[in-house]
Chain A
């Protein structure tokens, strides 16, 4: 007879290695990073024990208690208590502890025991504990707690062998053990008593050398220095954006010439006609012009992943707390905002760790203003076409400097919007507390960085192959049909649907300096920001006719005025050009209204910013 599926749940304090353990057990690639609050959703995975038992394991957001103070903690509470609709209660709870820091986990475990679920304590990160000379009397701990205790090293091969073995032993005799659930929210006195009890047990079973992590102390002395720390933070961001420009260039050039060769090859081998035009103008000039930016996107992700794995994110939150406080947010909101540099979607999801409803909403509303990686192609294209690649003060790349300025503009406007929200809507509002664990630094793990980059790069390419590709097919079609009448002398595109649509919109966009080609690119650009680059590539390639092998950047430099280019940059700082972000905002706020608010305010800001930029630039003679 086949045994029923065994249900495990991973519960524990934040940053104790639950997701690492989940990945090790199931072979998944869920996001792991060295700061509290990485996981904000429940994720299920499957594996088979050495003795052949089928197991389902659920990874949950970390929590200090079952009180469920924020949306992510509620997910954990509801799952453990079996309140989540349509979920089975776990057969066995794996309480995952960071072995270097048992106090909070043991207290949580004493609370979890009241739920009556069978439980195991997993002493994870045992390698770090051993290195620091922390010794744990595992047998005694198991006796004191009245449940099995096992050590594990989630990030090492074979580091979960003991846990697997134990799972087999326990599952054999599990069945009828379930006890009654006597859990209810603990009073302050009970909390205090459980913490006392936990401290007593730890004093009995664990010997701690008086040797805190000296590396962490040394690094923090610099990184958290009141002045030096902010300088380091600014420097990190600055180097990041310089690097995006300077370091990615060789790889981008390589990709670019690859696509050029492909285009020439298509032109040389295929007969003139629709198929040639589709491949050359639609696919290669369109989708290709987006894929060229892969190296930059990889670089920005590399930086963010390194910072996350090293343990810097929580420090950045600490440094930014008061500065964010001026804008009505607390430092905790800085982590979602920093993640939004990669993409606003995980950033918006990450706001689940913010317990205060208003703070969370404000953070969601401003997250799309942070410069996500999808803006990089647009920014880069325009910057490299219009800003000279000079060095200023000898070592700073001017193009990189402009890029840094655009990122800074995103941050500043996000804070400004947050400030306005606080000022006009939440006047009576006391600041929510900022309390955050600062984890010890860890050496970033090559494997997790590689996996992280691989998944993001794949996502980008899949998007290029699906969303962007289908938009390009549409644009190519609109720009190619109807075909010009025989004997027409104007460029063929002037007769197309795209030109008709673009020219209809032109009066609306003329005040901000956009021509009809830009209008055509902006509409499909609502699906995803990069589409605008691809669309411009296609529109100008079709318009350009035979000389279309030219680079899109060079084309822009001849067709746009500097004022138009600057106006376009300003537009992209603000414009709500991403359908998926809007969908996530709807889901996370549970309201169409907030999605509409986001869309409208960003559109208004974009138009206003472009209007000002364009007119100022024209007045200064850049028209």
Chain B
């Protein structure tokens, strides 16, 4: 099995499909192009539990543009838009 956590390629959560599971590697607000400032976006993501090392799973996606997504972060479910989820780098 090559699909272990260390060797999986890093990708933004904003591109993940439904059913994807992974671990947060880093936050990179610059990549997101959100309406929020980088600092504000990063703060908000952390406040909702998106920190390095947290396990995430994409549970649901919306109809239009598969957006937004419902993400399981450890023990809670958070709805975010893909645009903001681009700031969350997972593997």
Q: Is the CB of A67 within 8 A of B43?
A: yes
Question: In the complex the two chains form, what is the Cα distance from A224 to B69 in whole Å?
Answer: 10
> Size of chain B's interface in residues, with CB distance under 8 A?
37
Interface of B is mostly: mixed
Q: How far is the CA of A394 from the CA of B79 in the complex (A)?
A: 40
Give min CB distance, A361 to chain B, whole Å. Answer: 16
Cβ contact of B42, chosen from A188, A433, A438, cutoff 8 A: A188
Contacts of B60 in A (CB 8 A): 220, 224-226, 318
User: Is A398 on the interface with B (CB-CB < 8 A)?
Assistant: no
| Alpha-carbon separation in the docked complex, A373 to B11 (Å) | 48
Q: Which of A314, A321, A331 has the most CB of B within 10 A?
A: A321
Within 8 A of B (CB), among A189-245: 191-192, 195-196, 199, 208, 212, 216-217, 220, 224-227, 229-230
Cα of A208 to Cα of B48 in the assembled complex, Å: 19
Q: In the bound complex, do residue A188 and residue B39 qualify as a contact, i.e. CB atoms below 8 Å apart?
A: yes
Please report which residues of chain B, range 18-49, place their CB below 8 angstroms from some CB of chain A when the two chains form the complex: 34-36, 39, 41-44, 46-49
How far in angstroms is the closest Cβ of chain B from A109?
A: 13
Q: Are B62 and A208 in contact (CB under 8 A)?
A: no
A196 to B52, CA, bound (A): 9
A100 within 8 A of B: yes
- Assuming the contacts A230-B63, A437-B78, asked whether A192 and B46 have C-beta atoms less than 8 A apart, the reply is yes
Residues of A within 8 A of B65 (CB): 322
Q: Which residue of chain A lies nearest to B57 when distances are taken between CB atoms in the complex? A: A212
Residue of A nearest to B66 (CB): A226
B81 contacts the other chain (CB 8 A) = yes
- The contact string, 1 if C-beta is below 8 Å from chain A, for chain B 61-91, is 1111111101010111111110110000000
Most buried by A among B34, B49, B66, B78: B49
Please measure, in the bound complex, the distance between the C-alpha atom of A216 and the C-alpha atom of B41, giving whole angstroms. 28
Check if B68 sits within 8 Å of A104, measured CB to CB.
no
Q: Is the CB of A101 within 8 A of B76?
A: yes
- Which residues of A have CB within 8 Å of B61? 226
Instruction: Report if A340 contacts B (CB, 8 A).
Output: no
Interface status of A323 (Cβ within 8 A of chain B): yes
> Contact between A208 and B64 (Cβ–Cβ < 8 Å)?
no
The answer, yes or no, to whether A317 is at the interface (CB within 8 Å) is yes
Interface flag for A431 (CB, 8 Å): yes
Decide yes or no whether A103 CB sits under 8 A from chain B. yes
A229, A318, A319, A433, most chain B CB atoms within 10 A: A433
In the assembled complex, 8 residue pairs joining A and B whose CB atoms fall closer than 8 Å, in A order, are A195-B46, A195-B51, A212-B72, A217-B59, A321-B67, A322-B63, A322-B68, A433-B34
Query: CB within 8 Å of B: which residues of A?
Result: 64-65, 67, 69, 100-101, 103-104, 107, 186, 188, 191-192, 195-196, 199, 208, 212, 216-217, 220, 224-227, 229-230, 314, 317-319, 321-323, 325, 331, 356, 430-438
**A-B contact sample (10 more), CB < 8 A, given A431-B83, A435-B80:** A100-B75, A191-B43, A226-B60, A226-B63, A331-B79, A433-B41, A435-B78, A435-B84, A436-B78, A437-B76
